[in-house]
Structure 1
Amino acid sequence: MLKSKVKIGYILIGVLLPLWVWSNEPRKFTIRGYAQGTDYTVIYYAQDSVVSVHEIKDMLASLDSSLSIYKPYSTISQFNDSDKGTKVDGHLKKVVEKSLEAYVRSQGTFDITIYPIVRAWGFAEKTIESLPDTARIQELLTCVGSDKIMLRNDSLIKSMPCVKIDVNGIAQGYSVDCVADFLESREISCYLVEIGGELRVKGKKPDGEYMKVGIEMPADFAYQQPIIGKVLTLERGAVTTSGDYRKYVESNGSKIIHLMDPRTGFSIKTNMISVTVVAEDAITADAYDNVLMGMGVEEALRFLEGKKMEAYFIYRDDDGRVKDAYSRGFKKFINETEM
């Protein structure tokens, strides 16, 4: 009887040992959902499921409660409805701090106080019956300018009641960073976080490969599916894209894109079709892809000099032909074998 027990024990060890070895191999976990008006995907590699769907949902709901102009109870909506300003939570404070930095570095082309203009053109939470004329735009411009807001401790102050902010040009990048930082707090060293096309990656997969990111090329017609152009390989970092072919309204046969110039109150004038930015974090990439969209290629390349960002541009030349260009440091991300 004793021998039998020993033999059974040996057989069990022989079975369990390979299972133990296999369980130490990181597995792929995927979480998908819908938030902030778009789809999101979280992929990570770990030995066990250390992040739940509900944790991601709760985090994104918390971000919406702070940053969404579409939520009447959000912190940003409370600020917009106030006469002089209001106390802000940690999320809105960090986003405003980064926005004010981008406002200065871009010489005013990135400006979250553009909300009255964005709303007038129909790119905000309420539909409009007619497009604004020049007189109306000039009136609204008196309420625009990030020099009209100021962070003071935990309060955001405005100089005029009509000053309102919209952080949609940077909030998704910040949200990506929040989710990525949360994964790292759970000691996850390989992941991809994507919200509405803005993403951040880190680490090698179990097969030894780094994450690959495809750059979406604009389709010729709105009903066509975009195709993937260049493929990037990143050890770590964030990738965001801004383009003129997704959000727009039409008036008298003209296309008015959603990217507004806060200095004029009208759509930016640009030959850019799209700009893809690679940066250390998604909030930075998300802010500056909009800034670069409003520049010519040569100006954009000069702007990037000395900054911890690289960019890829798709644009039309003077003859209307579609071309591309990229900054000097961007080339190292391009995976030629996948093209």
Structure 2
Amino acid sequence: MFKFILILGLLFNLGFIKKSELQTFHITGNTQGTTYQVTYYAKNQSVNKKEIELLLEQLDNSLSIYKPNSLINQFNESKRGIIMDKYLKDVVINSLEIYKNADGDFDFTVYPLVRAWGFGTKKIDSTPDAATIKDLLQCVGSDKIKVVKDSLIKTKSCVKIDVNGIAQGYSVDVLASFLDRKKIKNYLVEIGGEIIVKGTKPNGKQMQIGIEAPANSSYKEQFIQKIIQLKGGAITTSGNYRKFITSGTHKYPHLINPKTGYPLENQMISATVIAKDAITADGYDNALMAMTPAAALKFVEDQSSMEAYLIYKKADETVADTATVGFYKLLITKPQ
């Protein structure tokens, strides 16, 4: 399964065609353990479901740890490395860049730990002990990965990668690029809540997106807390309260700290990122989850062309939120 995200509300009118020569085309289906939708506005249907699902299948064949013979699994089972296709190379290069920029808070070599904690392709009977985690940490670290032209090389044979924290965003970008090549100027693409938009609705208004947030410190009730409008760009969210495993009376969230080897149990509840493309937003929303709220906010403010909205726990276990100045400028009070 790809990571759970919090962006759920798509608050635009898919059927609005009045006084417009543009038609609304809406394609939906299942992919990557979740759902997808492609909505575009055009005079004629120039993209169909078969084309979209062929692209998604190609992405799975490259990036999915759930496909036994996928390219990523070939790398994970190799002793030294493999030749990459375009999809894997794009994701690897972006993952290494985010790893460096975020000082290791995002690390796609965390897969041995993900599996040990039961968040991989197989269930576990018990959580790993300290000795096991210490051993597995020897196999974790993007500094153990090298890219030489089209070759992906590991310096230790035990290194394995998992791009689930960034692949859904990348898949959104791939579909968006396909629509661009088809000369479609107004669209929304969404996979599992990771979203990219371009242009406007047929009535000329910007597309609106609702962000779902925990209602209280138990994280059990959710509601649409914020609504933003975008003319272009991507928005993704990483959350740490719905997907977990239970050991005894303890619940372990699914995001793993690549530096300690243990699930993240800090103040952060969710991080929503707005960026020019979904692979950037998707990678950094994971990195922010490993930081304190103050550090995460400062990190985003120091970046160019990136905004963030953070939900976190205070010391008294109540829920609070904060955001960058640019995020607040995108907020609207009611759907239009």
TM-score with structure 1 setting the length: 0.90
1:219 shift after superposition = 5.6
Tell me which moved more, 122-131 or 167-176: 122-131
SS at 2:327's partner residue?
helix
1:218 shift after superposition = 2.5
Tell me which moved more, 310-319 or 173-182: 310-319
Question: Pick from 102, 105, 122: which aligns with 2:118?
Answer: 122
Partner of 1:319: 316
Question: Pick from 152, 159, 163: which aligns with 1:163?
Answer: 159
Larger Cα-atom Rg: 1
Describe the superposition over 1:5-48 as per-residue Cα deviations: whole angstroms up to 9, x where unpaired.
xxxxxxxxxxxxxxxxx997011100000001100011000011
Question: Pick from 208, 214, 217: which aligns with 1:218?
Answer: 214
Tell me which moved more, 220-229 or 158-167: 220-229
Structure 1 spans left out of the alignment, 5+ residues: 1-21
Describe the superposition over 1:99-130 as per-residue Cα deviations: whole angstroms up to 9, x where unpaired.
00011011111111000000000111111122
Partner of 1:148: 144
Partners of 2:311 and 2:297 in 1: CA distance: 13
Partners of 1:29 and 1:221 in 2: CA distance: 40
CA distance 1:42–1:147, change in 2 (3 Å): same
Greater helix percent: which structure?
Answer: 1
Partner of 1:61: 57
Letter in 2 for 1:164: K
Partners of 2:285 and 2:258 in 1: CA distance: 16
Partner of 1:3: none
Partner of 1:262: 258
Partner of 1:14: none
Q: Does 1:90 align with 2:80?
A: no
CA distance 1:272–1:24, change in 2 (3 Å): closer
Q: Does 1:41 align with 2:14?
A: no
Letter in 2 for 1:136: T
Letter in 1 for 2:25: F
1:310 shift after superposition = 0.4
Partner of 2:291: 295
Q: Size of the alignment, in residue pairs?
A: 318
1:220 shift after superposition = 5.7
Partners of 2:275 and 2:144 in 1: CA distance: 29
Question: Pick from 238, 249, 252: which aligns with 1:253?
Answer: 249
1:306 shift after superposition = 3.1
CA distance 1:241–1:31, change in 2 (3 Å): same
Partner of 1:310: 307
Partner of 1:112: 108
Partner of 2:68: 72
Letter in 2 for 1:323: A
Partner of 2:333: 336
1:23, 1:47 within 8 Å by CA — same for their partners in 2? no
CA distance 1:261–1:37, change in 2 (3 Å): same
Tell me which moved more, 250-259 or 195-204: 250-259
SS at 1:337's partner residue?
coil
1:267 shift after superposition = 1.1
Letter in 1 for 2:302: G
2:208, 2:335 within 8 Å by CA — same for their partners in 1? no
1:337 shift after superposition = 2.9
TM-score with structure 2 setting the length: 0.91
2:55, 2:175 within 8 Å by CA — same for their partners in 1? yes
1:338 shift after superposition = 3.7
What percentage of aligned pairs have identical amino acids?
53
Structure 2 spans left out of the alignment, 5+ residues: 1-17
Partners of 2:286 and 2:196 in 1: CA distance: 18
1:181 shift after superposition = 0.8
Letter in 2 for 1:317: K
Partners of 1:131 and 1:247 in 2: CA distance: 16
Describe the superposition over 1:111-154 as per-residue Cα deviations: whole angstroms up to 9, x where unpaired.
11000000000111111122111110001111001011101111
Tell me which moved more, 22-31 or 283-292: 22-31
Partners of 2:315 and 2:132 in 1: CA distance: 32
Partners of 2:298 and 2:217 in 1: CA distance: 32
1:241, 1:289 within 8 Å by CA — same for their partners in 2? yes
Q: Does 1:32 align with 2:28?
A: yes
SS at 2:56's partner residue?
helix
